[in-house]
Structure 1
Amino acid sequence: MILNRRIFLGASVAASLAAPMVRAAGHGKPRVVIVGGGAGGATAARYIAKDSDGEIDVTLIEPTRTYYTCFFSNLYLGGFKQMSDLGHSYGTLASEYGINVVHDYAIGVDRDAKTVTLAGGASVPYDKLILSPGIDFVEGSVPGWDLSAQNAMPHAYKAGSQTELLKAQVMGMREGGLFVMVAPPNPYRCPPGPYERISMIAYTLKQTNPTAKILIADPKESYSKQALFEEGWQNHYGGMVERIGPDFGGGNVSVNAADMTVDIDGSVEQADVVNVIPAQKAGRIAEIAGVTDGNWAPVNPEDMSTKADPDIYVLGDAAAQGDMPKSGFSANSQAKVCANAVRGALTGSRVFPAKFSNTCWSLISENDGVKVGANYEPADGKIASTGGFVSQTGEDAALRKATYEESEGWYAGITSDMFG
């Protein structure tokens, strides 16, 4: 039985955090199971383990042995990073923090029995379950494309082999060829991500294939850092990048992977490389657990517990939480709030008021970095912005270089925060 109870009827979040949890008979330490070892899951695992002094048994379920960050993966496409720069292992979490790292797929959640079923056949019990599964794609959101077409038209929105494939295709483009991106509708992972990707691919093509063209078919009227990207494209890649928004058919797109064509509102483009980034939803295990609204998992902003079940928490890209964007920084920030709340619920330790932050950096060209970010607090049933900032058009080169260097420091810091 994968799922027995689909609706939570009971106390408020505040009540659930009011006292240490009474655990099921038959085991000693409280047990936290975390599914997904990215920015949310790895951070939550590390913070619960390091701050509980061995009082909590922490299990992290993640199928891959090396995690490749989606954030900064566009810099690999631009030649600023090697794939090895983006890869991180779970060895320190296991050896130094005592986390039980299980490399397997979670395929079922029984909320009544409080167990997670693994593809290998094991059943892992929990007192608190944290899901940080990232994204999956909405089937049929781009007519003509599904996962069977991902080798011909890669999405590269889960870093690793897809990212390497996309770069190889870009490097193999014929002289003067056409790169087409099918951009996703809101909401999706990393709002500036597709446009930083365009910048990095343009940077590569400018050096290797300067007469090539880039076309973006975009269903959105506007996007994150739009003025900054468009200024940068004009300054660095004049005439190379064209964007077709919804007013001109960017929302009516289909593809044919067999003949490498993209139909934009009846106008068929013959492409050399097609990067399809479909509409997105929470990773499948959140849906299996019965904690989504069909696409995303609504959560309580005080602790990231789901509105469907107070003992299941959802972090990062998979969560429907309010104003925060779906980003690695957001997931890391949410994980710390969640870890504090879970530890308090299980051991009676102090729970601090929730505060969140996020910054998204993007590289447009060499040493031309821009950023956007904000701080957040719970308000009106959601995570609400309390003030933000964004780079400005026309900034001088020294400031843009400093912004890029700031992002490098952040990457080193967050990956250390995740993996120890």
Structure 2
Amino acid sequence: MKLNRRLFIGTTLAAGAALSAPMVWGQAKPRVVIIGGGAGGATAARYLAKDSAGALDVTLVEANPIYTTCFFSNLYIGGFREFESLQHGYDKVAAGGVTVINDMATGVDRAARTVTLAGGQVLPYDRLILSPGIDFKEGSVPGWSVDAHAEIMPHAYKAGPQTQLLKAMVEAMPEGGTFAMVAPPNPYRCPPGPYERISMVAHVLKQKNPTAKILILDPKDKYSKQALFEEGWGLHYDGMVEWVGPEFGGAAVEVRPETMEIVVDGEVQKVDCCNVIPGQIAGKIAQIAGVTDDSGWAPVHPDSMKSKADENVYVLGDSSAQGDMPKSGFAANSQAKVAVMTIRAELTGSKAFPAKYTNTCWSLIAPEDGVKVGASYEPTPEKIASVDSFISATGEDAALRKATYEESLGWYAGITADMFG
């Protein structure tokens, strides 16, 4: 089935559709506060306001007035998109009946049901949705700290200035230089993301610096779409990309940002550009709210995305520990609609249908060479479980790969319209 903008919006509207009960005149509107304006939070805000027809008081708290999508940011690095095409504002979200506050949430009092903002404002809530994305696990890459070294060895795993910095560094590499990536351990945002990034860096270097080399230092034995990426690298960037797994030192990496060196199993190597993608945990406000566990992620009930720590709190997207779904924009958007349906049923008496989830992750390997992986999911008592999956095949013809890439463009247009209006 080919996915385009209209079909994406139509199918996701159907997934979240239910009639709300009428308001009782004179009764205060139930209050829903959402922290984080990405694929989970922005979607939840829009659908709560629209589908409740004014019955709910919906507030979205997002520190950045302009949101830059992580998904498709690799295509900017590769020269396939303009940076501005990744950026989206909240005017249409606000016009749809959502109170949008551009501030940082700094505190959650779950007993009092309040959220405190950096500017001093205190927001009461009846239900709270947390969708803050990821934070980085300090110390996960020896020698690297996000505060001290991200401007020297960028992570570019929170899209924005970091993405622009990494692109500039790649383009400024000396002839025949070495680009190194320290890949993250599981679990992390967008499983194919680091390897699509390698493809996009390779595309740039093939054009501008064809004798350059790319080194991937990976703590994992295997990674998402591995056969597809390796086939593509061999076809399009023969001899440029080298993957070093844990058996050969990929799990024993130290970096020295000041001298632009990496140390692999004790061996020092000078590089010209280093992309450090550290280990990840739930966004900081989820930790502050006390809904994460020892893993650093926030466990949720599979049928609702409701926090296992608090029945009045929901955790969406990257921050949640929910089972088989990857941490992706598509997944967060899908989870938001299940949470919205549950919250509306609880607060307005509308009908709730059994939860279903979907996800697809597209990756671009080279011009018009797109691949994808995805699945459908249903809740079990233990987790959100995959029930039907698919993946592009190696050896596919060029026409199919081009169609897959074009499908991804339709999805991006559709999901950003679904998030931001």
TM-score range, shorter chain: over 0.9
Paired amino acid for 1:368? D
Distance 1:390 1:76 in 2: 24
Q: CA deviation at 1:321?
A: 0.1
Paired amino acid for 2:371? V
Q: CA deviation at 1:361?
A: 0.1
Question: Does 2:290 align with 1:290?
Answer: yes
Distance 2:268 2:231 in 1: 28
- Tell me the TM-score normalized by structure 2: 0.93
Distance 2:178 2:103 in 1: 39
1:162-173 to 2 correspondence within 5 Å?
Answer: 162-173=162-173
Q: What does residue 384 of structure 1 align with?
A: 385
- Tell me the TM-score normalized by structure 1: 0.93
Distance 2:259 2:351 in 1: 60
1:74-89 to 2 correspondence within 5 Å?
Answer: 74-89=74-89
Cα deviations across residues 164-186 of structure 1 (Å, max 9, x unaligned)? Answer: 00000001100000000000000
Q: What does residue 45 of structure 1 align with?
A: 45
SS in 1 for 2:40: helix
Question: Does 2:100 align with 1:101?
Answer: yes
Q: What does residue 396 of structure 2 align with?
A: 395
Cα deviations across residues 213-235 of structure 1 (Å, max 9, x unaligned)? Answer: 00000000000000000000000
Q: What does residue 326 of structure 2 align with?
A: 325
Paired amino acid for 2:270? Q
1:258-297 to 2 correspondence within 5 Å?
Answer: 258-294=258-294, 295-297=296-298
Cα deviations across residues 131-156 of structure 1 (Å, max 9, x unaligned)? Answer: 00000000100011011100000000
Cα deviations across residues 346-395 of structure 1 (Å, max 9, x unaligned)? Answer: 00100111000000000000000000000000013210000100000000
Distance 2:313 2:52 in 1: 19
Question: Does 2:72 align with 1:92?
Answer: no
Distance 1:324 1:158 in 2: 20
Q: What does residue 343 of structure 1 align with?
A: 344
SS in 2 for 1:39: coil
1:9-408 to 2 correspondence within 5 Å?
Answer: 28-95=28-95, 97-147=96-146, 148-294=148-294, 295-408=296-409
Q: CA deviation at 1:27?
A: 7.4
Cα deviations across residues 1-55 of structure 1 (Å, max 9, x unaligned)? Answer: xxxxxxxxxxxxxxxxxxx9xxxxx971000000000000000001111000000
Distance 2:70 2:52 in 1: 29
Distance 2:94 2:381 in 1: 39
Distance 1:267 1:333 in 2: 45
Q: Is the 8 A contact 2:59 2:98 kept in 1?
A: yes
Q: How many residues align?
A: 396
Distance 2:232 2:286 in 1: 38
Q: What does residue 10 of structure 1 align with?
A: none
Distance 2:197 2:111 in 1: 43
Give me the identity figure in percent: 68
Q: CA deviation at 1:269?
A: 1.4
Structure 2 gap ranges (5+): 1-20
Paired amino acid for 2:197? R
Q: CA deviation at 1:98?
A: 1.1
Distance 1:229 1:152 in 2: 27
SS in 1 for 2:405: helix
Paired amino acid for 1:164? Q
Distance 1:256 1:381 in 2: 42
Distance 1:315 1:202 in 2: 33
Distance 1:108 1:58 in 2: 18
Distance 1:254 1:100 in 2: 45
Distance 1:307 1:63 in 2: 26
Paired amino acid for 2:151? N
Q: CA deviation at 1:268?
A: 1.2
SS in 1 for 2:331: helix
Paired amino acid for 1:135? I
Structure 1 gap ranges (5+): 1-19, 21-25
Paired amino acid for 2:98? I
Distance 2:269 2:29 in 1: 60
Distance 1:381 1:347 in 2: 28
Distance 2:337 2:381 in 1: 21
Q: What does residue 9 of structure 2 align with?
A: none
Distance 1:410 1:347 in 2: 31
Distance 1:212 1:66 in 2: 35
Q: How big is the alpha-carbon RMSD for the aligned residues of Structure 1 and Structure 2? A: 1.2
Distance 1:348 1:253 in 2: 54
SS in 2 for 1:164: helix
SS in 1 for 2:259: coil
Distance 2:121 2:44 in 1: 23
Paired amino acid for 2:290? G
Q: What does residue 12 of structure 1 align with?
A: none
Q: Is the 8 A contact 2:302 2:381 kept in 1?
A: no
